[in-house]
């Protein structure tokens, strides 16, 4: 009992620290934007896009102005994407040696990905490989921005997600998830991988599915990545994996104590139904067990066509 209380206190403290970091990071980002001073009109965007096209020197402030302008008006996204050679100019800045410029240029691509599906696909094809390289950057800001960009692009369409996965982006995201100690990077990977697995659905490679489950289990990320895990549970090969067993369910139960949101409950129910492990829930006492124990002895999985039959 005492050990459990200590665990709860430690986890609460970590969550408070993480929230504080996010708030400070958001405030710092807002201070650096300075949109009223830097962004004048679409003419400014045209000028910067032309510089990128013609290989003229582009300053750090101009890249930051462009990044903010792309958020300010969707028309600015169209201006950049319709300027032949502008994307190549951004790639040139991303692959350069000035880390600050790399971050801002990557931020431009992150915001360009918020346009229509066709535009996002163009960004994925031209910039995707360079964003994948940015995942391994020693600069945490560049790594996080690259990962968020990949997440936005993957979320734009199934085609974009498949194209990025074929370029190796998903494999690199999974690899960094298994090794990085940086919580900001882990959060960003959760966002990006969530889009990938949702868009790829049954086309998600089994080795990626298996590796994700191994990492989420070994790094105690089951609860933090509950949305990702829920989507993974819809994969047709989910139940065939050796990683999907009663140990996984027990750890998931333990990690969700005190967090009985609808998502967590449905995730537990889905995992139990898919793994034929529902009887285990009737032997475990925890705050949300009553909801799951009320499930009938024969029920279809909430996310697929599999049916659980209680023996």
Each residue's pLDDT tens digit, 3-37? 555 554 555 555 555 555 555 555 544 444 444 44
pTM given for the model: 0.77
Give the distance from CA 267 to its chain's centroid: 18
Name the band, by pLDDT with cuts 50, 70 and 90, for residue 303: very low
Residue 172 φ then ψ, to 5°? -70, -35
Q: What is the 8-class DSSP label of residue 305?
A: S
Closest-CA residue to 286 (of 251, 256, 249, 245): 256
Structural domains in the chain plus CATH codes: 14-204 (1.25.10.10)
Give the distance from CA 162 to its chain's centroid: 15
Q: At a CB cut-off of 8 Å and minimum separation 6, what does 53 contact?
A: 83, 84, 85, 86, 88, 89
Predicted pLDDT at 224: 84
Token pair listed for 180 = 């990085």
Q: What is the pLDDT of residues 248-277, one digit of tens each?
A: 777 777 766 655 555 555 555 555 555 544
Q: What is the pLDDT of residues 141-174, one digit of tens each?
A: 999 999 999 999 999 999 999 999 999 999 999 9
Predicted pLDDT at 14: 57
Overall residue count recorded for the chain in this entry: 311
SS3 percent helix, strand, coil of the chain, rounded to 5, is 70, 0, 25
Geometric angle at alpha carbon 219, from 217 and 225, rounded to 5°: 70
């Amino acid at each position: 009992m005492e050990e459990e209380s200590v665990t709860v206190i430690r986890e609460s403290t970590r969550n408070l620290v993480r929230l504080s970091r996010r708030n400070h990071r958001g405030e710092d980002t807002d201070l650096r934007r300075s949109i009223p001073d830097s962004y004048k009109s679409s003419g400014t965007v045209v000028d910067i896009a032309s510089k990128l096209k013609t290989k003229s020197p582009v300053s750090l402030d101009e890249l930051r102005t462009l990044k903010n302008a792309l958020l300010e008006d969707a028309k600015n996204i169209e201006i950049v994407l319709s300027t032949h050679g502008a994307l190549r100019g951004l790639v040139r800045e991303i692959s350069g040696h000035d880390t600050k410029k790399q971050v801002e240029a990557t931020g431009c691509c992150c915001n360009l990905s918020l346009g229509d599906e066709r535009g996002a696909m163009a960004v994925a094809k031209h910039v995707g490989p360079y964003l994948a390289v940015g995942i391994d950057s020693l600069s945490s800001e560049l790594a996080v921005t690259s990962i968020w960009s990949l997440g936005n692009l993957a979320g734009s369409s199934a085609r974009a997600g498949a194209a990025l996965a074929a370029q190796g982006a998903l494999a690199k995201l999974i690899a960094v998830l298994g090794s990085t100690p940086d919580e900001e990077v882990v959060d960003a990977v959760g966002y990006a991988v969530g889009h990938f697995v949702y868009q790829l659905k049954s086309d998600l490679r089994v080795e990626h599915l298996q590796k994700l489950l191994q990492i989420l289990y070994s790094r105690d990320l089951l609860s933090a990545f509950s949305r990702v895990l829920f989507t993974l549970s819809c994969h047709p090969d989910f139940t065939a994996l050796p990683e999907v067993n009663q140990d996984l369910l027990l750890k998931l139960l333990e990690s969700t104590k005190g967090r009985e949101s609808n998502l967590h409950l449905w995730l537990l129910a889905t995992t139990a139904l898919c793994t034929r492990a529902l009887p285990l829930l009737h032997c475990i006492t925890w705050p949300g067990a009553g909801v799951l124990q009320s499930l009938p002895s024969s029920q279809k999985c909430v996310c697929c066509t599999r049916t659980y039959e209680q023996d």
